[in-house]
Amino acid sequence: MNETIPINVDGQAGLFIHARQTAAELRERGRRQLCCLDARLRTLTAEPEEGAATAEYAVVLIAATGFAALLISITKSDAVKTLLTNIVKKALNVG
């Protein structure tokens, strides 16, 4: 606190001017720190990929459903039925 206090033209100490300047500096510093804190909190709480997981699950479910439909259509065909039946019969005859 070894600051020099400015003196007005009247020869009186500019205590109020000095106090206003100090208050303005403190207010500006507080605003900057509050702004930085706000930016940090927004960054930490933001979830930019919030909907990405849901979209990925939807794509996987559609692909799995399509694959299941393809397998069902293949296994319902006569050629595959006979092939699978022959494989099962050979497995049972071995044991």
Mean pLDDT across the chain: 81
Cβ-count burial of 52 within 10 angstroms (0-12 exposed, 13-18 middle, 19+ buried)? exposed
Give the Cα separation of 14 and 76 in Å (integer): 97
The pLDDT value given to residue 1: 55
Query: Are the CB atoms for 45 and 39 separated by under 8 Å?
Result: no
Q: What is the pLDDT of residue 64?
A: 94
Domain boundaries along the sequence of the chain: 1-46, 50-95
- pLDDT (tens digit per residue) in 11-47: 555 677 777 888 889 999 999 999 888 888 888 777 7
Query: Global pTM?
Result: 0.37
Tokens 């702004």, located at residue:
35
pLDDT higher at 70 or 21? 70
